[in-house]
Structure 1
């Protein structure tokens, strides 16, 4: 990990930027933070630092929406599968060699960036949700456990359900909150969530919240679609860099 003097500055800069992305788009804080932290430290350490800022910002996003109860009744099988998959896969990020874990993280980021740029028009019919939701959740959980990135395939799947904008943002908050809690439990189960990481993770909460606030201000003035394309292109490039490092 980076030395003790530079770590607080690194965390503040990364989580301020990641929070701004989340404030602008409603998602992206864990993804940006994992990608940038992954350039400076092993993914398992980055995942440990991510826990508290991800949890706080996603609970904020979850509770700000109008239909928490209805969404939970609709999506609980998917959420249960996310938790189970994450716990099952968390041994991968906790035990993988640093280079292999970096390559896996890069692959997850690059895949998400590619999906975001292509924007496939998917539509899951209501009759398919009883099996498609748990399947998507289990896959998301395994990828979360392996890489610390919990957006694939959860984000495209939730976007295919025909939810309204506010409902979708709240559903993403629910999925990310469950993923964060399950990842923390999985890391703790494998002894990869040290007390020191909890303190540093707490330090990152304030810049993450400040970034979300700034991103919310920018959202009224920026063109979200232009920023979204730049965001996904950046993830694709960042993922490629991490794959190169992991395989080098």
Structure 2
């Protein structure tokens, strides 16, 4: 349980005027530096880490609003870091359409209709993703099944995104199951996350949980996220990627379980 002192310290930037703005900026900056670092090392994880940590400190809708611009900027950077974007869009558009539709349908849940259950859903999504990573779940996707599986995976991912603010389940395991090169996979993840971010922003705005004025708070998190991502990319070759990913998933699993447990304490 967060203490009464800590709650105003870590509240979102648009609330709690009694707390010094610099302190609130500092807390959010540290979170996004860490999240950006994870993305720089692994190629993913910024929205997941940011939503997971911020979800312990504020409502999921507020956390989702904060991560919109950092997620968009870093994923566009990742998306256009290599060639072949047009070919990926042509192949993955059914999944992307499903993500948009599912997110818009489910966004009212995270925007307030779900209450405490939105936190439980966030924790469950994080725990499931962490378990998949630790167990190295992979399922090959035969080309003949892509036509129906792609929009289905997209729709489910969209519902999870709209309900929890987490973009990764089940899109990431699905993309890993396609016959993509390493470079194409990184770009495909960036494409999926970019579309998810835009759809979530539209869904939150439509549910009156996000407004243009809230972009100022999200904008403040962009530079810390980029700094963390840059640093992560610099040290990626100097650390054991497999060991880093394993501990990343262990921490994510603990965070997810903690979020789920909050509904019962």
Bin for the TM-score computed over the shorter chain: over 0.9
CA distance in 2, matches of 1:91, 1:198: 19
CA distance in 1, matches of 2:35, 2:151: 28
CA distance in 2, matches of 1:146, 1:221: 37
> Retained in 2: the 8 A contact 1:85–1:145?
yes
CA distance in 2, matches of 1:8, 1:43: 18
Larger Rg: 2
Residue 196 of structure 1 and its aligned partner are, at CA, apart by 4.4
Please name the residue that 1:227 is paired with. 244
Q: Deviations over 1:155-183 (max 9, x none)?
A: 00000002111100000000000000000
Bigger RCO (CA 8 Å, 6+ sep): 1
Residue 96 of structure 1 and its aligned partner are, at CA, apart by 3.0
Instruction: Report the TM-score, using the length of structure 1 for normalisation.
Output: 0.97
Please name the residue that 2:97 is paired with. 80
CA distance in 2, matches of 1:99, 1:148: 14
Secondary structure in 2 aligned to 1:64?
coil
Please name the residue that 1:158 is paired with. 175
Instruction: Report the TM-score, using the length of structure 2 for normalisation.
Output: 0.91
Please name the residue that 1:217 is paired with. 234
Please name the residue that 1:9 is paired with. 26
1:135-174 correspondence runs (5 A): 135-174=152-191
Pairs aligned (count): 248
> Retained in 1: the 8 A contact 2:175–2:185?
yes
CA distance in 1, matches of 2:104, 2:263: 24
Structure 1: gaps of 5 or more residues: none
CA distance in 2, matches of 1:62, 1:225: 23
1:23-34 correspondence runs (5 A): 23-34=40-51
